[in-house]
Structure 1
Amino acid sequence: MAGATGLVGREILARLLAGNSYSAVHCVSRRRPDPVHPSLVVHVTDSLSEFSAPPVDDVFIALGTTLKVAGSQQAFRAVDFDAVVALARSARAAGATRLGIVSAMGADAKSPVFYNRVKGEMEDAVSQLGYDSVVFARPSVLAGDRKALAQATRPGEQLALVAMRLFKPLTPRNYRVVAAADVAAALVNAVKADQPGHRVLLSGELQPA
């Protein structure tokens, strides 16, 4: 598990620890996540791209930043492409066969939008690593408590949340606000379903019926 200190990653980790599907959950992070659990093994590293994964079966990656936080396109790509692909490659070499990644709505390697293009390029690169089953979750605007994670609020995200809630009946399902917990639940369940090949979960599929 990578990205456990983020909005969706925190929810993924909680689900992995709450169930009895895994005898151990390895979490790689730059800082230690909050949960303390007998099944949790934490690997703290300053370089996610150079981390060597232990033997594992399933992999969940919820890494991501913003251009504003990263400070440059190069720094953004180092997280959202380089680190994600490196971790997925390392885990595959360690024996993992199933992979779930939190991507983004609009991910497209041919997109003129830098953010969407990097996400699409990441998906394409990861798809070539030889996993039996890969699931990409592409949520729209996320709802969750960023303050509890000591993350700065995102003005654009807050504005979108207000607008989408006001016009929810008129908003297509794939564009509605989606709770971080719902994204986590859908991704974990999809990975455990062990569907061969590559699968993309659009935002509408990440929400409860």
Structure 2
Amino acid sequence: MANVLITGATGLVGGHLLRMLIQQPEIARITAATRRPLTTIPAEVHNPHDPQLTDALAQVDDPVDIVFCCLGTTRREAGSKEAFVHADYTLVVDTALTGQRLGAQHMLVVSAMGANAHSPFFYNRVKGEMEEALIAQQWPRLTIARPSMLLGDREVRRTNESLLAPLFAFLPGNWKSIEARDVARALLKEALSPQKEGVNIITSAKLREIAASQA
């Protein structure tokens, strides 16, 4: 039985993952730290919340075995480069540090295809810097998921994704778009699989493969 901490539970991947965790008998306790309170969740899900997610994380005191971070936005949604860095770098690192404070041994994070700390593209560079920061924390086990374009019903539609989704559906390999629920399914499978020490980077094509094996 495992105790888990999840951030990003109000998002596309995180919402699917939270619902899967609730149905998973191998999960003993779920702590979902969010900016706004969750709705329609079982009483056994602990939901510390605060508009400042870091303050919500500071409220978590119970031991944790596994940490999931499904935070992610775009520069347009965030409103500025600084706000994007705060959401996709700072809060991810804060999630990881909270997990380490609570004794977690396995961190799983949703990054992005193309993540590279030396990329000339701002989005990919921030994602890569985030990955490097987590690797530097020297987790016993760190799983980094790099999905392609995510498919699913968002509360707020992203124009670029709506326009490009039909194209990405026909691209090969890692470029092919992926359902958010499949990313969540793959993360859960990896979290509950036998221990694989060190850093494990999972490409989008591999995420689809893992998810298909659980269907």
Q: Same fold (TM over 0.5)?
A: yes
The separation in 2 between residues aligned to 1:20 and 1:105, in whole angstroms, is 31
1:185 maps to amino acid:
R
Q: 1:72-120 CA deviation, whole Å, 9 max, x = no partner? A: 1111001100011011012111101111101111000111111101000
Corresponding residue to 2:120 among 103, 112, 119: 112
- Match status 1:187 vs 2:191: no
Corresponding residue to 1:49 among 51, 54, 61: 54
The separation in 2 between residues aligned to 1:33 and 1:63, in whole angstroms, is 15
Cα shift at 1:160: 1.6
Aligned residue pair count: 201
Q: Is the 8 A contact 2:142 2:200 kept in 1?
A: yes
Corresponding residue to 2:161 among 157, 169, 183: 157
- Can you give the 5+ residue segments of structure 2 that lack an aligned partner in the other structure? 1-5
SS at match of 1:36: coil
The separation in 2 between residues aligned to 1:175 and 1:104, in whole angstroms, is 11
The separation in 1 between residues aligned to 2:135 and 2:67, in whole angstroms, is 14
The separation in 2 between residues aligned to 1:35 and 1:111, in whole angstroms, is 41
- C-alpha change, 1:109 and 1:22, in structure 2 (3 Å) is same
Percent identity over paired residues:
37
SS at match of 1:64: coil
The separation in 1 between residues aligned to 2:207 and 2:38, in whole angstroms, is 24
CA RMSD, Structure 1 to Structure 2 (Å): 1.3
- Can you give the 5+ residue segments of structure 1 that lack an aligned partner in the other structure? none
The separation in 2 between residues aligned to 1:189 and 1:31, in whole angstroms, is 28
Equivalent residue, structure 2, for 1:129: 137
Q: Is the 8 A contact 1:85 1:125 kept in 2?
A: yes
The separation in 2 between residues aligned to 1:89 and 1:137, in whole angstroms, is 19
Q: 1:98-150 CA deviation, whole Å, 9 max, x = no partner? A: 1110111100011111110100010110112232111111111111011xxx3
The separation in 2 between residues aligned to 1:131 and 1:15, in whole angstroms, is 24
Q: 1:58-77 CA deviation, whole Å, 9 max, x = no partner? A: 00000111101111111100
Corresponding residue to 2:70 among 46, 62, 68: 62
Normalised by the length of structure 1, the TM-score is: 0.92
Q: Is the 8 A contact 1:92 1:129 kept in 2?
A: no
Normalised by the length of structure 2, the TM-score is: 0.89
The separation in 2 between residues aligned to 1:183 and 1:38, in whole angstroms, is 26
1:83 maps to amino acid:
L
Moved more, 128-137 or 115-124: 128-137
